[in-house]
Structure 1
């Protein structure tokens, strides 16, 4: 049975929203005989996360030493069996048709990202202010945004790709944040992708999210994460290696 594996890391701040996230995943309608698999990885060994999730054979739950989202996601990737990989934050909600659109797009290209809506604490939503046009992504677009303008136009929690491509790139780069940006830039460096203009996620804004922590946006920390992502993408481009275009 063809499968799309959804990868989610969980920390203390996102755990209270996990049941809602599961509900949004359970309601996804997939094309044909496609199925989803949810690989959930707790960024610690508390055991709390496993107790919050139902007895659903499509869910696998793991845990590990606390090391932030990049490590948790890469650990979860070892349990993924799907043809395609899709990231999903534990505190976000998939919108109807999200996975179906990912699957249809990934049948044409090796990776994709999609629009999302910010979900505010008062229940209101707002669109991303810098969304690119839908369709094929101009080669090097996202690299230029990050390396030159330091302003990425997409949320990388929407990233989806062929599993072998994610594996070949080493999963999520070992950073304290921006690991999704690093993976997106690496994928863009070696393969064509598309942007799906229809929103796929409600991106929840709340005080306990990782990016709301005071130290997260330390200038030195932020600059180091950005430089690590840019350097890896540059190195990949310089090798001349490309991912096979066939899908």
Structure 2
């Protein structure tokens, strides 16, 4: 069966909404005979993911030494059997048709990102303030946005051919912005599209990693951004393309 593998990192303390994440995945309607696989990787060895999630043969759960999201996702990637992959955070909610639109888009291009809605604590939602127009992404668009520190998309919506993600080495070994670095690398070597219809409720809550002041230490945040920029520059200079 053709399969899309969904990649999720979870840690003890960041698991409180993962049951809603699972329900949103269960409710996805896929085209034709497509199936989904959920590769969940715990960042640590507490067993929290296995304790919270139900038994489902479509779910693969493993754990490892705590090393943050990039490492956990890359470990999960080794268990992915689908020709396509999709990133999904453990506290977010897929909207109806999200994976179907990813699959249809990835028939045309190697990677894509999509719009999402912020899910606020009072249950209300808010659209992204700078969403691009739907369709092909102009080469270098997201690179220029990151250089100017104004990225217009959430990289947790990233979907791609698994072979592309493997060729790029998975998620950049950073303490954050690992999805941004992967997006910039993919943008260098292959064309992509932006899906204007929202695919995700991006949950905003005080326990999320990016809500802590420590995460936004100016020097560390600048280093994370610069790491993705430098890799993209080096790849562009090498002239490598993926097909």
TM bucket normalised to smaller: over 0.9
Offset at 1:168?
0.3
1:1-247 correspondence to structure 2 within 5 Å: 1-147=1-147, 149-244=148-243
Does the CA-based 8 Å contact 2:5-2:37 persist in structure 1?
A: yes
Per the TM alignment, residue 12 of structure 1 is displaced from its structure 2 partner at its CA by 2.8
Q: Which runs of 5+ in 1 are unaligned?
A: none
Q: Structure 2 length normalisation: TM-score? A: 0.99
Offset of 1:49 from its aligned partner?
1.1
The TM-score, its normalising length taken from structure 1, stands at 0.98
Please give the per-residue CA displacement for 1:72-93, whole angstroms capped at 9, x wherever unaligned: 0000000000010100000000
Alignment partners' CA distance in 2, 1:95 and 1:13: 24
Q: How many residues get paired?
A: 243
Q: Is the 8 A contact 1:106 1:162 kept in 2?
A: yes
The separation in 2 between residues aligned to 1:69 and 1:194, in whole angstroms, is 25
Find the aligned partners of 1:68 and 1:59 in 2 and give their Cα distance.
21
**Cα deviation, residue 175, structure 1:** 0.1
Q: Encode CA deviations 1:212-238: one digit per residue, 9 max, x unaligned.
A: 112100000001000000000111111
| Shift in Å, 1:48 | 1.5
Alpha-carbon displacement from aligned partner over 1:35-71 (angstroms, at most 9, x marks no partner): 0000000000001210111110000001011110000
**How far, CA to CA, are the matches of 1:102 and 1:213 in structure 2?**
31
Task: Give the SS at the match of 1:66.
Answer: coil
Contact 2:6–2:88 at 8 Å: present in 1 too?
A: yes
Does the CA-based 8 Å contact 2:156-2:179 persist in structure 1? yes
Supply the distance in 2 between the matched residues of 1:12 and 1:94 (Cα, whole angstroms): 22
Q: For the residues of structure 2 that align with 1:14 and 1:121, how far apart are their CA atoms?
A: 16
- Partner deviation per Cα, 1:80-110 (whole Å, 9 max, x = no partner): 0001010000000000000000000000000
Quote the Cα distance in structure 2 between the aligned partners of 1:48 and 1:41. 10
1:13–1:209: 8 Å Cα contact kept in structure 2?
Answer: no
Q: Residues 168 and 185 of structure 2 are in contact (CA less than 8 Å); yes or no, is this contact kept in structure 1?
A: yes
Gaps of 5+ in 2: none
SS at match of 1:154: coil
Query: Over aligned residue pairs, what C-alpha RMSD do you find?
Result: 0.5
